[in-house]
């Protein structure tokens, strides 16, 4: 898991922080978590953006973007609020694919 990437929350574009799951986050140990304390959005390298629900399988949104080269879930790397442009990047090391 790379920890040098800086994903933004896909709900309101806040920065996310690297986090290690407590027990019972049953599908990913390491992930990024939105820094808004009322937002439970997470980004997991294997799943993409998810909102964990205790004791339930993860629900990945249908419009989760994937890298065309690697098939990996992409994260939001930057947002241009003035032009309303959201940029996605691939978590694969060295991949320059953007969407
Ligand atoms: Zn959030
Ligand atoms: Zn890629």
Q: Which 8-state DSSP code applies to residue 22?
A: P
CA distance 14 to 69: 27
Ligand nearest to the CA of 71: 2
Q: What is the pLDDT of residue 30?
A: 85
Task: Report CA(37)–ligand 1 centroid distance (Å).
Answer: 8
Contacts of residue 26, Cβ cutoff 8 Å, sequence gap at least 6: 55
Beta-strand relationship, 42-44 and 30-34: antiparallel
Please list the pLDDT of the chain residue by residue as tens digits (99 residues): 788 899 999 998 999 999 887 655 555 678 899 999 899 899 988 889 998 887 777 788 888 999 999 999 999 999 999 999 999 999 999 998 888
pTM value is 0.86
Ligand nearest to the CA of 98: 2
Domain ranges, ordered by start, for the chain: 16-89
Task: Report CA(12)–ligand 1 centroid distance (Å).
Answer: 5
Rg of the chain, C-alpha, whole Å: 13
Q: What is the pLDDT of residue 29?
A: 75
Q: What is the pLDDT of residue 33?
A: 92
CA distance 13 to 16: 9
């Amino acid at each position: 898991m790379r920890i040098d990437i800086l994903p933004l929350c896909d709900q309101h574009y806040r920065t996310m922080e690297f986090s290690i799951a407590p027990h019972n986050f049953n599908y990913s140990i390491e992930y990024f978590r939105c820094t808004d304390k009322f937002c439970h959005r997470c980004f997991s390298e294997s799943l993409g953006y998810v909102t964990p629900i205790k004791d339930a399988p993860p629900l990945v949104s249908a419009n989760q973007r994937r890298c065309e080269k690697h098939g990996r879930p992409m994260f939001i790397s930057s947002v241009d609020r003035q032009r309303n442009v959201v940029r996605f990047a691939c978590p694969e090391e060295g991949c320059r694919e953007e969407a």
